[in-house]
Amino acid sequence: MSDADLILRFRAGQHQAFNTLVWRWQGRLYRFALRYSGDSEEARDLCQQSFIRAYGQLHRLRDPERFSTWLYQIAANLCRDHLRQRVQHVSLDAYEEASGGPHPVLYQVGDMDKVELRDLLNRALQTLPEEQRVVVVLKEYERLKFREIAEVLDAPINTVKSRLYYGLKALRKTFNQWDIDRDGL
């Protein structure tokens, strides 16, 4: 059953249909929030808040076929608001001070496991400006099309493409600074 069918059932009073939408989308939405926020606890909260807001606003969704874009838009707005409210921003320098030293020198893919690689990628994502990070996450991790990302962010497609370009360029620079072999990623 499609998302649109579930939404129509929900609107007809079958509120259990929303549970199916949550089950279908919670993994993707959580991963999006995690990559955006960099914190698993915050990501769970943001994911839950996104579904609560979607539940309350589902009757306003004009085109049920656009549910995924609409849901990502809710999540992106909540993530953006949450990050603005953060008082403390942990920079890479603060991480190095807290961990007692610089990042390891020259990783190869065989030297790191998937958990280490995921952690490095998430830390690198956190170094990006917010507008670049959200585009990189939506395009590279969530596999949205440029048109869909533009709708989620309410931005022109060329702006989305530019943010992706500069975001990926900044990630490459970060990996070079950390002496991470590009082939290892």
Check whether 108 has a pLDDT greater than 70. no
Q: What is the DSSP string of 109-174?
A: GGGS-HHHHHHHHHHHHHTS-HHHHHHHIIIIIS---HHHHHHHHT--HHHHHHHHHHHHHHHHHH
Domain termination residue (choose one: 72, 87, 102): 87
Higher pLDDT, 185 or 68: 68
CATH number of the domain encompassing residue 51: 1.10.1740.10
162 and 113 in a common domain? yes
Q: What percent of the chain has pLDDT over 90?
A: 64
Higher pLDDT, 56 or 120: 56
Query: Residue 113: what pLDDT?
Result: 66
Query: Residue 94: what pLDDT?
Result: 43
Check whether 5 has a pLDDT greater than 90. yes
35 and 11 in a common domain? yes
- Averaged over 24-51, what is the pLDDT? 94
Query: Residue 112: what pLDDT?
Result: 57
Domain count, the chain: 2
26 and 55 in a common domain? yes
Check whether 17 has a pLDDT greater than 80. yes
CATH number of the domain encompassing residue 154: 1.10.10.10
Higher pLDDT, 119 or 9: 9
Check whether 41 has a pLDDT greater than 50. yes
Domain termination residue (choose one: 87, 104, 133): 87
42 and 107 in a common domain? no
**Residue 154 structural domain:** 92-185
99 and 17 in a common domain? no
